[in-house]
């Protein structure tokens, strides 16, 4: 069985939710975490979790939209942190590639949301792009306070950040990027990451894995990612699936393991 630890179900357009869930179930996907990124979809991911028992959600503001983080969004995170199906604060972090929000605002909002995770004993879902040093510095400030840690999702950063994050107890999330021809750096990180700290994700509808490039990504493509991890590590597919399944519940304690 597989847990989809990072997708954006409200963004998928090519299939209905029922079609996505049916095809995902056929592929062995048991549960889904659909991720909040901006003020407009904080309510949407909550609604999806109410529609289907297998769907869980997060609350948080992506660094692209940090400039739009207000008391309204902060209060939603605080209010919903006690909801049984809110499994993490995220997607939060830093993105210096696009700088859609000024760096100083990204840093402030990242820090505020990390504090919310500490206050409510929740793990975090981290986005970091071209911001390795600042991400490490910010997370280091919370090392002794953030008990649940969380995941650096869609990991594409350098080996140094990977080593630091793994040593500090974080998981690394890998998706379709690891199947790309030009992703040797990420494949190398997969190779060095202990199996006990790997999570499977699609980040759908983005980053569709080979051999389905050009199509909208969806949770039912997770087996291709697991297979690539098995290939890179030289181990059996079931070994990857079993470990990632267990890791999902360890990283996100509010997921209900019915197996």
Model pTM score: 0.97
Q: What are the structural domain ranges in the chain?
A: 2-251
Work out the angle at residue 10's Cα, subtended by the Cα atoms of residues 62 and 162, and round it to the nearest 5 degrees: 40
pLDDT at residue 259 in the model: 54
Instruction: Answer whether 90's CB lies under 8 Å from 148's CB.
Output: no
Percent of the chain with pLDDT over 90: 98
pLDDT at residue 257 in the model: 77
For 9-23, write each residue's pLDDT tens digit.
999 999 999 999 999
pLDDT at residue 237 in the model: 98
- Residue 255's φ and ψ, nearest 5 degrees, are -65, 140
Percent of the chain with pLDDT over 70: 99
CA distance 98 to 96: 6
For 223-257, write each residue's pLDDT tens digit.
999 999 999 999 999 999 999 999 999 999 999 87
Residue 97: is its pLDDT beyond 90? yes
For domain 2-251, the CATH class is alpha beta
Instruction: Answer whether 9's CB lies under 8 Å from 44's CB.
Output: no
Nearest alpha-carbon partner for 48 in 14, 73, 85, 103: 85
Instruction: Answer whether 238's CB lies under 8 Å from 220's CB.
Output: no
For 152-209, write each residue's pLDDT tens digit.
999 999 999 999 999 999 999 999 999 999 999 999 999 999 999 999 999 999 999 9
């Amino acid at each position: 069985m597989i847990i989809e630890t990072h997708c954006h179900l409200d963004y998928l357009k090519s299939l209905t939710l029922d079609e996505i869930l049916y095809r995902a179930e056929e592929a062995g996907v048991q549960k889904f975490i659909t991720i909040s990124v901006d003020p407009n979809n904080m309510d949407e991911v909550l609604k999806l979790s109410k529609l289907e028992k297998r769907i869980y959600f997060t609350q948080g503001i992506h660094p692209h939209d940090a400039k739009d983080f207000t008391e309204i969004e902060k209060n939603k995170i605080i209010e919903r942190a006690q909801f049984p199906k809110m499994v993490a604060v995220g997607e939060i972090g830093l993105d210096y590639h696009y700088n859609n929000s000024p760096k100083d605002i990204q840093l402030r909002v990242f820090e505020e949301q990390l504090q919310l995770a500490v206050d409510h004993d929740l793990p975090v879902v981290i986005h970091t792009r071209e911001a390795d040093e600042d991400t490490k510095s910010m997370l280091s400030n919370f090392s002794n306070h953030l008990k649940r840690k969380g995941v650096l999702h869609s990991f594409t950063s350098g080996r140094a950040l990977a080593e630091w994050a793994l040593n500090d107890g974080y998981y690394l999330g890998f998706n379709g990027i690891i199947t790309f021809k030009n992703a040797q750096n990420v494949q190398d990180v997969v190779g060095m990451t202990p199996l006990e700290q790997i999570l499977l994700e699609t980040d759908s509808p983005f980053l569709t894995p080979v051999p389905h490039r050009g199509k909208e990504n969806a949770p039912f493509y997770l087996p291709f990612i697991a297979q690539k991890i098995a290939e890179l590590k030289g181990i059996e597919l079931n070994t990857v699936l079993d470990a990632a399944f267990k890791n999902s519940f360890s990283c996100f304690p509010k997921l209900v393991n019915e197996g």
